[in-house]
Amino acid sequence: MTELNLNPEKVGNNHTKNKVSLELNHPQHGTIPHFCGGVLIDKNWMLTAAHCVVNPQFVLPHPNYWKARLGEHNLVSHDGTETKIDIKEVYYYPWYHGYDNDIALMRLSEPVPDSSSIQPICLPNESDKFENMLCTASGWGKVDFGSKASEDLRAVSIQVFDNSKCAVYTQRFRIAIQPFHLCAGTFEGGKGTCQGDSGGPLACKTERGWVLAGLTSFGSGCAKRGFPDVYSRVSHFLSWIKQMRGY
């Protein structure tokens, strides 16, 4: 559904702490080492995009299909910081449909071990808007549309816009931008998300530290000129996240 990666800028190990690479182990399609991105929000829970776990090709809400790879930087090399944890529960937002409410919550089968290399990101406050801030999107997706997925975690700094900026171009595809969307990117092209980045974080640095503003949801291509990307606005879903976690 989405074509979501980043202009090729590798990031250091200190940026990997809350990032998750989702591994898919499907009985018919086999193992896909990196299927989608995600982000750790506490020792037991992570967020990703709903379209990663429910999609037209195959329905994948089954927790036993998934493993969370944490502490990763390069997906094929080992630095001693990595850990892989099974997924115990998968929930996607009940009103998820197509481009709307694209968020899913995953419970890990065991708490993340205490480690300086694996730490959760702060959730936003309901009042956080992030408009006009320079924030960071990250993931292991494709570097450009025709390439393969990146082995290294990559990141890019992009601006958060008022949603009306994205509405101008999404309306030509008959996609309505809603309050649960977040618009971010660049109109010059060359910076944005691509296939394989879905579900990964858009993080903004505030006085509270790095805060999760959005989850990579959809775009018109890989950082095309004139087309910023659309994220799921995490602050819109705080009540649901609290309800599902029980706190």
- Please state the rounded mean pLDDT for residues 82-103: 97
**Burial (Cβ within 10 Å: 0-12, 13-18, ≥19) of residue 43:** middle
Q: What is the pLDDT of residues 17-59, one digit of tens each?
A: 999 999 999 988 899 999 999 999 999 999 999 999 998 777 7
Q: Mean pLDDT check: name the lowest of 12-16, 82-86, 92-96.
A: 12-16
> In the predicted model, is pLDDT for residue 13 greater than 80?
no
**Catalytic choice (21, 138, 150, 198):** 198
**Burial (Cβ within 10 Å: 0-12, 13-18, ≥19) of residue 98:** exposed
Question: Which pLDDT band holds residue 187 (cuts at 50, 70, 90)?
Answer: confident
pLDDT number for residue 225:
82
Nearest residue to 64 (alpha-carbon basis) of 74, 72, 79, 53: 53
**Catalytic choice (102, 128, 197, 229):** 102
Residue 238 neighbours by CB under 8 Å, 6+ apart: 123, 124, 126
Question: Which pLDDT band holds residue 15 (cuts at 50, 70, 90)?
Answer: low
Half-sphere exposure of 234 (CA within 13 A, CB side): 30
Strands 154-161 and 181-185: antiparallel
Neighbours of 226 (CB within 10 A): 12
51 flagged as catalytic: yes
102 flagged as catalytic: yes
pLDDT number for residue 12:
46
- Please state the rounded mean pLDDT for residues 120-142: 96
**Catalytic choice (34, 51, 73, 181):** 51
Q: Mean pLDDT check: name the lowest of 4-13, 69-78, 101-110, 143-152.
A: 4-13
